[in-house]
């Protein structure tokens, strides 16, 4: 059986609609920036792992000198 729900959608003036759109656009921009930030952090972690792996392959004499 198909369920039907009745919902009233409030009428908004154009100014209020524009304000809502601006807020939603701001939220989308913040979300995109956070995704980019996570990608950069992921790249940093990968780079650090590679760097640590490379350092572990070096002989101790190449790292420390007395």
- If phi over 0 gives left and psi between -120 and 50 gives alpha, with beta otherwise, what is residue 48? alpha
Would the pLDDT of 39 be above 80?
yes
Rounded Cα distance, 60 and 65, in Å: 9
Please compute the mean of the pLDDT values over residues 9-34 and round it to a whole number: 96
Name the pLDDT band for 44 (thresholds 50, 70, 90). Answer: very high
- Any idea which of 2-11, 20-29, 30-39 has the lowest mean pLDDT? 2-11
Name the pLDDT band for 58 (thresholds 50, 70, 90). Answer: confident
pTM flag (> 0.85): no
Cα(first)–Cα(last) distance of the chain, in Å?
82
């Amino acid at each position: 059986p198909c369920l039907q729900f009745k919902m009233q959608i409030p009428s908004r003036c154009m100014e209020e609609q524009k304000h809502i759109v601006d807020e939603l656009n701001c939220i989308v921009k913040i979300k995109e920036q956070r995704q980019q930030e996570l990608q950069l952090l992921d790249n940093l972690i990968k780079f650090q792992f590679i760097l640590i792996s490379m350092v572990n392959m070096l002989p101790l004499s190449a790292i420390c000198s007395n």
